[in-house]
Amino acid sequence: MSNPFGGLEPKLVWKWFEALTKVPRPSGSEQKAIEFFQGFAAAQGFAVKTDKVGNVLVSVPGSKGREKDPVLVLQGHMDMVGEKNEDVKNDFSCDPIQVWRDGDWLKAKGTTLGADNGIGLALGMALATDPDVSRPPLELLCTVDEERGLAGAFNLEPGFVTGRRMINIDSEEEGTVFVGCAGGGDTECRFPLKLGRLPDKWTGVKVKVFGLAGGHSGLNIIENRANALKLLAALLLDACPTEPFSLCSFGGGDKHNAIPREATALLAGPADLTDRIRAAADRLRPGLLSEYGKTDPKLDVQVAAAGVTDGLSFDDSVRFLSFVLALPHGVDAMSRDIPGLVETSTNLAKVAWGDEAALVHNSSRSSVASALTRMRGRVAAAGRLVHADVRQLAGYPGWQPNMDSALLARAREVYQATTGKTAKVTAIHAGLECGIIGEKYPGMDMISIGPDMHGVHSPDERLSIPSTERFYEFLKTLLARI
């Protein structure tokens, strides 16, 4: 099998990215990545320090004649979202990513690629080691646990970072400079389960909604992609509006920042239950494909016999499914200032069914603090209506745009000079670490940029090879001129 990185330019960027694809680094298990960056620094003779949570800072001297220039921080996160197709056997805690090349794109075989944010880190490493780069002193800030809630950034301490201008390389659209981001916060509803023994003659049924596109709950929420949890709840309520049945389990989704691609339920009921559910699936499928055909063309429903012994009462079954269906999900408001930008949204992210309770997790975002509080309040109110125990997790701040930023002005100037095009300046409906870092280190002048990639947080993730090459040349010129 040929090496997918063979012959790619610039060599240093792909050298470091290939190395990172071999380093297991799912969120919460970044120790091998921490050791990788510590080893990188030692091998290059760079100073390195690691804080109590695992954030790594590599200090790179400026090139000749620029040793005393103001420090520039290049920032990215070490962890990656570990999502895989159901038929793929991959343990993200120990297995490397299997990369393949599809024309101008790099992809992974049935899993996330980890270009979010591996390519940002690789670009920083290349800028630090490329002898042809004119650079100021650099601080490569490599944070942990970004994907699960920005924990690495939250735990940065005063003095760990000394630079006061920063390029976050964790964006996914070449030619776009991000200068603001949404804040966010998660809400967890614990729905008590009172499971009882099922009638002896009842039959068990397994229902699965699958084949959805999923994707990032901030970046892709505007596309109105289908949510597997919502579709499954709607299907079951349609199939069993009044007839006796018992919900024995219900679950789906995995990450708080990913739109659920699959959801599965176990039910029990009289002998005709399977036929009722199949009939409902057949009745609803054409409408669903018409509604979601462009965003989720592979959407499908599977119904099969299953063995079950315990389940909820009919009333509790309907109450739980109605709760899932009633929870807000999707875009709530668009920005009044930036056309096409989502202001407020929420994602019904996952349901985990246990012996005593079902945990229903919802992740909300907004660039307006009061709107975020109100959205989280709506989720909490829905939980309280069904007597769930509601817990609101710590939120994170947004990043207010500074259109007078000196770093932004230089980035726009360099992009125009190197491409002949005008850079798009906007904000992003996602939680970047910039919001927290800016709060931790007042006065930080920041932008967020990156090469083209699509499908992040899903097995469809892909990274543009030519965009990465162009983006590196842009970064080299930008570093030379700041």
Q: Which two tokens stand for residue 274?
A: 């399977």
Q: Which of 222, 242, 185, 238 is nearest to 392 (CA)?
A: 185
From the candidates 30, 116, 146, 186, which is the catalytic residue?
146
CA separation for the pair 177, 464 (Å, rounded): 18
- The residue behind tokens 């012996």 is 355
- Distance from C-alpha of 168 to C-alpha of 437, rounded to nearest angstrom: 10
Burial 356-365 (b: 16+ CB within 10 A, else e): eebbbbbbbb
User: Cα separation of 174 and 379, whole Å?
Assistant: 35
Concerning whether 174 is annotated as a catalytic residue, the answer is no
**Catalytic site includes residue 200:** no
Q: Which of 18, 30, 79, 343 is catalytic?
A: 79
Angle at 365 between CA 376 and CA 221, to 5 degrees: 115
- Is residue 258 within 8 Å of residue 80, measured between CB atoms? no
Cα distance between residue 27 and residue 457, in whole Å: 12
Q: What is the DSSP letter of 429?
A: S
Query: For tokens 């006796």, what's the residue?
Result: 244
**Is-contact 476 276, C-beta < 8 A?**
no
Q: Which helix (H) or strand (E) holds 346?
A: strand 342-353
List residues with catalytic annotation. 79, 146
